[in-house]
Amino acid sequence: MEAMGCPLSKVCSRIGLGGLTFEAEIRSVVLSEKQVIVEIAHVPEGAETSCLSFLETAFTRYFKVPTSIVTVLSCNELSDASSAEQFRKRWEEVLEILGQQLPIFGSKPAIQVINDHTVRIVASDSFMMKKLKEKESTIAAWCEKELGAPIAFGWDCLPPSNTPPVVEKEPISTSAESLEIDESKVAPIGTWLKAGSAFATVQGQVFLKDYKDERDNARYPALVFLGLFDGGHSLKAKAGGELAKNIQATIREKDTIVVEGPLTADPKTNEPILSIRRFKKRLLEPETDPEADTSAELPVHVELHTHSHLSAMDSILSVEALVERAAKYGQKAVGITDHEVIQAYPEFYERCQTHQIKPIYGMEGNVVDITPILMNLEKRYSGAEKEFLQETWETRPFCVIDFETTGLSALRDDIIEIGAVKIFKGKIVDTFQSFVKPTVPIGETTTRLTGITEETVREAPALSQILPTLRDFIGEEVIVGHNVNFDYQFYQQALLRTGEPLIHSVTLDTLALARSLLKMSSYTLDKVVKKLGLTEETGETVSFRHHRASEDARVTGLALIAMLEMAKKDNRVTFGDIQNLQAEIALNRLHGDSFTAFVQNKEGLKNLYRIVSMSHLEYLGKVPVIPRNLLSENRDGLFLGTGSPVSELSKAYRMGKDHSELIEIAEFYDFIEIMPSDAYTDIEEGFDEKTLSYRNHAFRRLH
């Protein structure tokens, strides 16, 4: 027995029943091999006849054994209840008396009312039932004294805890009639998982089968685990005892089956797992068999960007299965592009030789480049960059800016708060702050990070109203920010949206400056502040509310002042000296941008081997990275593509960089890779088909 004391509606929701017209409380559930007893309290008047029979049917289907719904009366109804019902209600009092004479109960015995003067006591095991029966006279005496009426007792106990799962006695076959699976309830695996259902009926192809008999498994006579895939999601399923033996005898890998049973969490991995109660082998028609050769129906194409199980956390596909599938589709060649590694090549070659298909050797890597500390020099001072770099930075004012936004894309998202401070000769001399009323909703994530809500910006000025003031505040000063490119792109897009003249400013990135001066594992603003040991004018340690524009701008300004003083101590007093600090940045601490490389000839294969080796030996950080200059020096014989959704080009487009900047990025590569729309869903939330069509059009114009 399991004491629950939880709402009936919650339990019904967990097993897939909705629309309950009344609320009640499940007091306990008594499980036995032959019957399940569910005690429900506080059932409204009139609900029993209309709904309880339906609940019995639903619970019977869920537990797969006959289920009885037993109502428990509330205290104010107890005086009118029968002797048996009063005994059930006061059973806890009896247990307290018996607890003084018996060992502590592991699971409390439950009571089932048979009629007005008869109850059945269900014990947790045979030992406890024996002890309770020895105290039958004590229980009967209590009934005479407290209830004023005799009670007749029946006895039952739950099966031992190590008893194998109950298996259907009838032989398991593959006919729908004997299995009685309601196939109208079959739904995609993803639907069941998203709904958090406690019982599921799914159809999928078996891609894994692991069977253990009594020689391998002492607890059950047999145990089988299945991996099921329905084309969209995969699910682990298990069965024990005779059911496992029947599955082992009738089901093979690549068979398509329908299974149903409780959906729970694996105690070891916390991943969803379905405990099979029934199964049915699906005999596919030839035209729907996924193994059938459909090459005649498919357009001729080549799969270039594929991953095998050697791509960590990105694929479970074996090299053999990949090549075999491409051959069945009638493809003449197939490319493999595992993440950062090329270990698949020997097997890839052999499998392609077997299936007479051309192998295309490739890899998806991570290219890194030294991030300049100072940017946009050529746009702001075209032809006069050297003169600017020779200037002393102490003679120049800086404007530190920070924006809070509704998202990460300068093209689609809006500014909701502006913060800016002016710095001159090592001091903050002016500040600017304003909220901005956005044209798009503020999401929950943004509110959680910033504390800014729709109510906060309800009376705020529109971007077109506040931007001229910000532009005048910035003036011609060097714009500073922590990862300044993010804020600068939002500023540029804001100027374009509002029709303001586009102004190119020199930018200084305190993130890159910190990477060149400080040795840290992470360079977030709060950690940089802590590393620098910044203090206020009062001598107190700097504290600030991260992800608020005004505070982030002020603290970034203080960090800039401190880091410029560090540079000054090393006699780095010009802008050129500051720019040269970028050589101190450790490349393996940078986050790389995805790119794709394909081998064109033996020289290219040799160069790819060299690049991969050096990325793992000399530039190994969180992932192996490849410096851009190393890639440039060894690109002979390689065909380079712009890569996945986290490529340099894709990120630049999402940040709102203009056409000329996109062309400059694309010129480094040999081809632009445009992936299916579903490859972008996890990278850019809300990156819909319309936005993708605009992006793809922009990419096609880069020639």
Beta bridge partners of 594: 366, 647
Q: Are residues 71 and 6 in the same domain?
A: yes
At 688 the pLDDT is 64
Are 422 and 542 found together in one domain? yes
What sign results for the dihedral spanned by CA atoms 470, 567, 536, 529? positive
The answer on 573 and 595 residing in a single domain is no
- Report which DSSP code applies to 49: I
- Do residue 258 and residue 355 come from a single domain? no
Question: Are the beta carbons of 624 and 566 closer than 8 angstroms?
Answer: no
pLDDT in tens, 251-309: 998 899 999 988 888 777 778 889 898 898 887 544 444 455 544 555 678 888 999 99
Whether 379 and 329 map to the same domain: the answer is no
Domain boundary among 551, 584, 617: 584
Each residue's pLDDT tens digit, 93-106: 777 777 655 544 44
Strands 638-641 and 593-599, bridge-based pairing: antiparallel
What is the reported pLDDT for 164? 34
Single out the residue of 471, 467, 479 nearest to residue 414, CA to CA.
Answer: 467
Residue 627 in any domain: the answer is yes
Domain count within the chain: 4
In the chain, the amino acid numbered 582 is Q
In a domain, 309, yes or no: no
Asked if residues 483 and 591 have their Cβ atoms less than 8 Å apart, the reply is no
Q: Residues 6 or more apart from 137 whose CB is under 8 A from it?
A: none
Q: Residues, the chain, total?
A: 703
Confidence of residue 176 (pLDDT cuts 50, 70, 90): very low
Rounded distance between C-alpha atoms, residue 317 and residue 310, angstroms: 9
- pLDDT tens for residues 451-487? 999 999 999 999 999 999 999 999 999 999 999 999 9
pLDDT band for 172, please (50, 70, 90 cuts): very low
Let me know whether 442 and 471 are in one domain: yes
The DSSP bridge partners found for residue 71 are: 40
Range of weakest confidence among 79-93, 191-205, 207-221, 286-300: 286-300
Q: E-assigned strands of 185-285?
A: 199-213, 222-229, 234-240, 256-265, 272-275, 278-282
Asked if residue 564 and residue 439 are part of one domain, the reply reads: yes
- Cβ burial of 19 (10 Å; 0-12, 13-18, 19+) is exposed
Kindly state the average pLDDT of the residues 121-139: 76
138 lies in a domain?
A: yes
Model pLDDT, residue 295: 47
Q: Say if residue 553 is in the same domain as residue 624.
A: no
Q: What is the pLDDT of residue 167?
A: 32
Residue 307 lies in a domain: no
Segments forming the whole domain that contains residue 199:
176-288
Domain assignment present for 310: no
Edge-to-edge strands, sheet with 478-481: 374-375, 507-509, 478-481, 398-405, 415-424, 427-435
In what helix (H) or strand (E) does residue 145 lie, and over which residues does it extend? helix 136-146
Q: Are residues 389 and 523 in the same domain?
A: yes
Q: Is the pLDDT of residue 355 over 50?
A: yes
pLDDT digit string (tens) for 419-435? 999 999 999 999 999 99
Nearest to 303 by CA among 359, 247, 264: 359
- Asked whether residue 313 is assigned to any structural domain, the reply reads no
Give me 567's structure tokens.
């540079």
- pLDDT reported for residue 513: 95
* CATH (domain of 230): 2.40.50.140
CA 542, CA 555: separation in Å to the nearest integer? 8
Where among 288, 309, 334 does a domain terminate? Answer: 288
Q: Of 338-347, 480-489, 668-677, which range is least confident?
A: 668-677
pLDDT at residue number 574: 94
Residue with tokens 């999402």: 654
Q: Which of 288, 307, 336 is where one domain is finished?
A: 288
Q: Looking at the structure, do residues 113 and 6 belong to the same domain, yes or no? A: yes
- With respect to residue 403, please indicate whether it lies within any of the assigned structural domains: yes
Say if residue 533 is in the same domain as residue 549.
Answer: yes
**DSSP letter for each residue of 504-573:** ---EEEHHHHHHHH---S---HHHHHHHHT-B-TTSPBP---TT-HHHHHHHHHHHHHHHHHHHHHTT--
pTM beyond 0.85, yes or no: no
DSSP designation for 590? S
- In angstroms, how far is the first alpha carbon of the chain from the final one? 72
User: How many Å apart are CA 652 and CA 664, to the nearest integer?
Assistant: 11
SS3 363: strand
Which pLDDT does position 9 carry in this prediction? 66
9-57 tens-digit pLDDT = 666 766 655 555 556 667 667 666 666 777 776 665 545 444 566 677 6
Q: Could you read off the pLDDT of 492-533 as tens digits, one per residue?
A: 999 999 998 888 899 999 999 999 999 888 889 999 999 999
pLDDT digits (tens, 9 = 90+) for 613-648: 999 999 998 889 999 989 999 999 999 999 887 788
Supply 439's token pair.
């044209």
Residues 556-588 have pLDDT tens digits of 999 999 999 999 999 999 999 999 999 888 888
What would the DSSP string read from start to end of 203-223?
Answer: EEEEEEEEEEETTT-SSSSEE
Q: What is the CATH number of the domain that holds 358?
A: 3.20.20.140
- H/E element, 652: helix 648-655
CB 31 within 8 A of CB 112: no
Q: What single-letter amino acid sits at 310?
A: L
Task: Quote the tokens at residue 435.
Answer: 């909220």
**Residue 520 tokens, joined:** 């840290």
Residue 195 located in a structural domain:
yes
Mean pLDDT of all residues in the chain? 81
Residue 606 pLDDT exceeds 90: yes
**Cα dihedral sign, 586-591-592-593:** negative
Is the confidence at residue 161, as pLDDT, over 50? no
User: Are both 147 and 43 inside the same structural domain?
Assistant: yes
Query: 502-536 burial by CB neighbour count: b if 16+ within 10 A, else e?
Result: eeebbbbbbbbbbbbbeeeeebebeebbebbebee
Domain of residue 540, CATH code: 3.30.420.10
